[in-house]
Structure 1
């Protein structure tokens, strides 16, 4: 149940790379880290999920909350390089229609 979060700041974008499992145990850490980045100064938050091996409903909730926070601040959320399994989770929940998700 480990999760690592690496951040890289560019001009108006923060690129976040998550690795490990996003579940009820690790989601609060991710939520806290991402919420700090979505304060209005960063117009785009890009999250690379290539190395995420597991995502449950708590993790989905983190991304829904982040999406709403960014949208309210005029920002954008991009999710990159997720596995087919994770893409399917976002499709089933309807989130793939409101968020930018790229292979």
Structure 2
């Protein structure tokens, strides 16, 4: 089984916007982690992750988001999650991760 994941980046001053599309799961998590960590370490800015096109996330994907948050915080910045679909937002709420991220509609 293969899952599709598309990651796009946009830079604007001291904010980096990342658009994540498709599925963040055990099959795509290493790609997501490598890309997000690279962006965080290179740009050292606040990170806005647009999840409006993210259709599915599993515990591995949630772990990547949590690790990314920890890394961003090391630089004194924040992670914003934008456009979470209701099913994905529910996972963040159940796991308590919604209290760690800045969640925007």
TM-score interval (norm. to shorter)? over 0.9
Count of residue pairs the alignment pairs up: 103
- For residue 98 of structure 2, the aligned residue among 84, 96, 99 is 96
Partner SS for 2:79: strand
Contact kept? 2:9, 2:17, Cα under 8 Å: yes
The structure carrying a bigger helix percent of its residues is 2
Matched, 1:28 2:30: yes
**TM-score, length-normalised on structure 2?**
0.93
1:18 aligned to which of 17, 20, 43: 20
Counterpart of 1:65 (choices 52, 64, 67) is 67
- What residue ranges of structure 1 are gaps of 5+ in the alignment? none
Structure 2: tracts of 5 or more residues without a match: none
The CA RMSD over aligned residues, in Å, is: 1.1
What are the within-5 Å matches in structure 2 for residues 30-49 of structure 1?
30-39=32-41, 41-49=43-51
